[in-house]
Amino acid sequence: MVTHEDVRKIAKLAKLEVEESELDGLTKDMNEIISFADTIASVNADDEGYSDPNDLENVLREDIIQPSLSQDEVLANAKDTDGSSFVVSQHA
């Protein structure tokens, strides 16, 4: 059973604010979805260790320097920069 307190805690972990007015609705929805997810909790599944479900294997390449984005391109979409770094003020 998911409680208001659980939702507040998860929201904190996910860096989301939850308004008091949203809490009832969110808790109800979460409970519905979690009880739906619970349908697999009692199913037996052998623990064979993790392996990729699509049978893909790691693809590795030689460690050779390749062209990448320029500093200007990397900063192009940021709201605040000083021309060479992302800027995050303590207050705004």
Partner 1 sequence: MKSFSKIKSIQKRLTAKECSCVELTQQYLNGIGQKNEKLNAYTCITAETALDTAKKVDEKIARGEALGPIEGVPMTLKANISTRGLETNCCSKILQGYKPVYDATVWKLLKEQGAVLLGKSNMDEFAMGSSCETSCYGGAKNPHDLSRVAGGSSGGAASAVSSGLAAYGIGSDTGGSIRQPASFCGIVGLKPTYGAVSRYGLIAYASSFDQIGPLTTCSEDAALLFDILSKKDACDSTSVGACHASVPALQQSLEGKRIGVAAEYFDGLREGVQAALDDAGRVYEKLGAKLVPLSIPEIRYALPVYYILACAEASSNLSRYDGIRYGMKAEHYTGVNDMIEKTRSAGFGKEVKHRILLGTYVLSAGYYDAYYKKAQLLRRQIRKAFTAAFTQCDFLLAPTVPMTAFPLGFTSQDAVETYQTDICTVPVNIVGLPAVSVPCGTDENKMPVGMQLIGNTGREDVILNAAYQYELKTRT
Q: Which position has the token pair 């207050």?
A: 91
Closest CA to 2 of 22, 26, 20, 21: 26
Judged by CB under 8 A, does residue 5 bind partner 1? no
Q: Residue 81 forms beta bridges with which residues?
A: 86
User: Is 48 a residue that touches partner 1 (CB under 8 A)?
Assistant: yes
Three-state secondary-structure class, residue 69: coil
Residues that bind partner 1 in the complex, under the rule CB under 8 A: 2, 6-7, 10-11, 13-17, 26, 29-30, 32-34, 36-37, 39-41, 43, 45-48, 50-51, 53-56, 58-59, 61, 69, 73-74, 76-80, 86, 88, 90-92
